[in-house]
């Protein structure tokens, strides 16, 4: 059984943190109180702010004693992250606080592997929590009343959170091993047919995890790779790059493909849905794109066809990262189209734009023993493409 790390600022929330630790111990678990105050603290925690701050790359002086609160919060978040990921005795992490505390603690939580219990009691939890959670499994509990004193409400909320964290630390989820390795697949509505065919061909031997390429979906896919929970990748749908480069609402981050580069896992990829940039309702599309070609996917989703010039940029951005992969790589170019709506006769059919996408990958590709570029005279949703993807995957992921 690991410790429940109870994290917050003792300069303003010492009593609340002590109460949470008390409830954790009363539940039979072990607790460690971590003080992340950026102003002088009364002490009393098991781990002091000084100890945490020393984990900052520039030392404790880069964290403590700063006049600018925003800078201090950001620096403490970096220090806590670097400190927390070194701990090997975490049973659960429980954070308490308002905006500053939530920013610091969830930054560190996001660096932990998927599956490590993470619970944040926060005054921010009833709003947009996406910036705090990101692609991870952080649980957010609304504090209701501010974490500023113990009273009839805060005792209940904090006590319930402490009991939940203790329960997770005391009751680790058993591992289930059926002999199958795990593979991640990326999919969009317009590449569903391709991924469904691929999954059907490999799922007897592989446990398949499918990720919706919605920005967050791709980040979750890569977070699981970084957490060593996926053994291979079938990254068929890389559409989030188009949104990242051209202002769409479902973008990846600059670290897209980074987990594969770091992990060296077997990787099969393609250009699924790189013919489109995603926006919300039609009226939300930026005015600068007013004269572009659109397809109304549904009342909440408007798709914009990528141009020849944009496709060159997308292909160049992707291939630069493919060239940094040192594990086994196969990248597939489906020469007859990359989505359900750019096939012949469909609204986004534009062979010249697709050719620019493929040419950018070809021109940027650096041959290497571990990497192979494969061209398929088929549409991405054709059976021939699925066959080629599975063949490439089987070759490198034995």
Q: Confirm whether 175 is domain-assigned.
A: no
- Answer for the pair 349, 339: CB distance below 8 angstroms, yes or no: no
Q: Which of 139, 170, 201 is the last residue of a domain?
A: 170
Q: How far apart are CA 309 and CA 245, in angstroms?
A: 12
What pLDDT score was predicted for residue 39?
Answer: 86
| pLDDT tens, residue by residue, 1-27 | 799 999 999 998 999 999 999 999 999
Number of domains, the chain: 2
Helix boundaries (H) for the chain: 10-26, 49-53, 69-84, 99-111, 130-133, 152-170, 192-202, 216-226, 240-246, 258-263, 308-322, 351-364, 383-396
* Residues 204 and 119 occupy one common structural domain: no
Domain that holds residue 228: 181-396
3-class DSSP assignment, residue 140: strand
What are the pLDDT tens digits along the chain (398 aa)? 799 999 999 998 999 999 999 999 999 999 999 999 988 888 889 999 999 999 999 999 999 988 888 899 999 999 999 999 999 999 999 999 998 899 999 999 999 998 999 999 999 999 889 899 988 999 999 999 988 889 999 999 999 999 999 999 999 888 777 789 999 999 999 999 999 999 999 999 999 999 999 999 999 999 999 989 999 999 999 999 999 999 999 999 999 999 999 999 999 999 999 999 999 999 999 999 999 999 998 888 999 999 999 999 999 999 999 999 999 999 999 999 999 999 999 999 999 999 999 999 999 999 999 999 999 999 999 999 999 999 999 999 97
* Residues 16 and 95 occupy one common structural domain: yes
Residue 165 CB partners (closer than 8 Å, separation 6+): 4, 6, 24, 29, 92, 93, 94, 117, 119
Q: Which of 170, 197, 217 is the last residue of a domain?
A: 170
* Residues 161 and 204 occupy one common structural domain: no
Q: Confirm whether 137 is domain-assigned.
A: yes
Task: Let me know if 104 is exposed, middle or buried by CB neighbors in 10 A (0-12, 13-18, 19+).
Answer: buried
* Residues 148 and 273 occupy one common structural domain: no
| pLDDT tens, residue by residue, 281-316 | 999 999 999 999 999 988 889 999 999 999 999 999
How many CA within 13 A on the CB side of residue 19? 19
CATH number assigned to the domain comprising residue 129: 3.40.50.12020
Q: Which of 143, 170, 197 is the last residue of a domain?
A: 170
* Residues 265 and 323 occupy one common structural domain: yes
* Residues 275 and 359 occupy one common structural domain: yes
Q: Confirm whether 176 is domain-assigned.
A: no
Q: How far apart are CA 60 and CA 298, in angstroms?
A: 52
CATH number assigned to the domain comprising residue 204: 3.40.50.12030
- Answer for the pair 293, 304: CB distance below 8 angstroms, yes or no: yes
* Residues 114 and 197 occupy one common structural domain: no
* Residues 234 and 348 occupy one common structural domain: yes
* Residues 304 and 363 occupy one common structural domain: yes
Residue 333 CB partners (closer than 8 Å, separation 6+): 270, 271, 358, 361, 362, 373, 374, 375, 376
* Residues 242 and 106 occupy one common structural domain: no
Residue 232 pairs in a beta bridge with 183
Q: Confirm whether 19 is domain-assigned.
A: yes
Q: Confirm whether 329 is domain-assigned.
A: yes
* Residues 212 and 79 occupy one common structural domain: no
Q: How far apart are CA 303 and CA 280, in angstroms?
A: 8
* Residues 127 and 246 occupy one common structural domain: no
Q: How far apart are CA 234 and CA 265, in angstroms?
A: 11
Closest by CA position to 147, among listed 10, 34, 4, 5: 10
| pLDDT tens, residue by residue, 226-285 | 989 999 999 999 999 999 999 999 999 999 999 999 999 999 999 999 999 999 999 999
């Amino acid at each position: 059984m690991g410790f429940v790390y109870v994290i917050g600022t003792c300069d303003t929330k010492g009593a609340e943190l002590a109460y949470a630790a008390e409830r954790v111990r009363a539940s039979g678990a072990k607790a460690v109180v971590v003080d992340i105050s950026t102003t002088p603290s009364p002490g009393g925690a098991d781990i002091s702010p000084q100890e945490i701050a020393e984990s900052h790359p520039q030392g404790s002086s880069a964290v403590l004693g700063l006049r600018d609160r925003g800078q201090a919060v950001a620096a403490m978040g970096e220090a806590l992250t670097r400190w927390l990921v070194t701990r090997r005795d975490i049973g659960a992490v429980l954070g308490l606080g308002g905006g500053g505390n939530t920013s610091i603690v969830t930054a560190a939580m996001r660096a932990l592997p998927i599956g490590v219990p993470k619970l944040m009691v926060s005054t921010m939890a009833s709003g947009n929590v996406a910036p705090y959670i990101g692609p991870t499994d952080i649980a957010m509990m609304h504090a209701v009343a501010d974490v500023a004193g113990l009273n009839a409400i805060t005792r209940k909320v904090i006590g319930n959170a402490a009991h939940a964290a203790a329960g997770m630390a005391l009751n680790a989820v058993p591992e289930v091993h059926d002999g199958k390795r795990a593979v991640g697949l990326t999919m969009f509505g317009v590449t569903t047919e391709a991924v469904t065919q691929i999954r059907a061909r490999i799922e007897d031997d592989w446990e398949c995890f499918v990720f919706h390429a919605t920005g967050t979906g791709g980040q979750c896919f890569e977070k699981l790779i970084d957490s060593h929970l996926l053994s291979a990748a079938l990254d068929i749908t890389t559409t989030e790059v188009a949104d990242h480069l051209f202002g769409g609402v479902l973008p990846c981050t600059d670290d897209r493909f980074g987990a594969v580069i770091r992990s060296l896992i077997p990787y099969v990829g393609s250009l699924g849905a790189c013919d489109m940039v995603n926006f919300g309702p039609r009226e939300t599309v930026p005015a600068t794109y007013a004269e572009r070609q659109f397809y109304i996917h549904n009342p909440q989703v408007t798709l914009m066809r990528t141009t020849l010039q944009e496709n060159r940029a997308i292909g160049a951005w992707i291939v630069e990262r493919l060239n940094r992969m040192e594990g086994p790589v196969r990248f597939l170019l489906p020469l007859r189209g990359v989505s359900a709506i750019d096939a012949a006769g469909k609204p986004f059919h534009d062979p010249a734009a697709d050719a620019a996408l493929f040419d950018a990958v070809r021109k940027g590709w650096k041959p290497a023993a571990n990497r192979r570029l494969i061209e398929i005279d088929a549409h991405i949703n054709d059976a021939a493409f699925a066959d080629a993807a599975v063949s490439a995957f089987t070759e490198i992921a034995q």
